[in-house]
Amino acid sequence: MATKNLLVTTLELSNTGFFIDLPNLLRNSRSFSILLLSGCTIVGSLPQLLCNLTQLHSLDLSHNNLRGHIPWSIFSLQQLSFLDLSYNNFLGQLPKIHSNSTNNFSLYDSSVYAMGSTRSSLTTLSLSHNLLSGKIPS
């Protein structure tokens, strides 16, 4: 089924085990506000196309096999309030993130610097169980 002409705003396929071709999905639909794809056998790196989803406010890509560096432009999405990238294989350091109302940063074993200069509306950020480095702000 082609998604080119559909106006889908919410996609929830968590823990279905479906193989998701994330770049293709994002290329064919830019109307997502909620993407919940935890445990969907997504492999590869996080596509830069995510940054084109200007209406996105909830993104859960936890428990997949994503790797590489997190594209920091994702933190510039004005509507994004919930971001869960935990239980993947991301590496590197986080940029400084400034949030107007960051309430719940869940970092656990990933010590990262998560406050500072990049503007974001994030209220929940989970990056635990990745290969990130840096320090947690006090």
Q: Which sequence spans correspond to the domains of the chain? A: 10-133
Cβ–Cβ under 8 Å, residues 88 and 109: no
pLDDT digits (tens, 9 = 90+) for 18-36: 888 999 888 878 889 999 9
pLDDT digits (tens, 9 = 90+) for 65-123: 999 999 888 888 999 999 999 999 999 987 666 555 444 555 544 434 344 444 468 88
Contacts within 8 Å (CB) and 24+ apart, 31-36: 31/7, 31/55, 32/8, 32/56, 33/9, 33/57, 33/58, 33/79, 34/9, 34/10, 34/58, 35/11, 35/59, 35/60, 35/61, 36/11, 36/12, 36/60
Phi-psi region of 68 (alpha: psi -120 to 50; beta: other; left: phi over 0): left
In this structure, what token pair is assigned to residue 38?
A: 């935890």
CATH number 3.30.70.141 given to 10-133 = no
| pTM of this structure | 0.80
Q: Phi then psi for 90, rounded to 5 degrees?
A: -70, 150
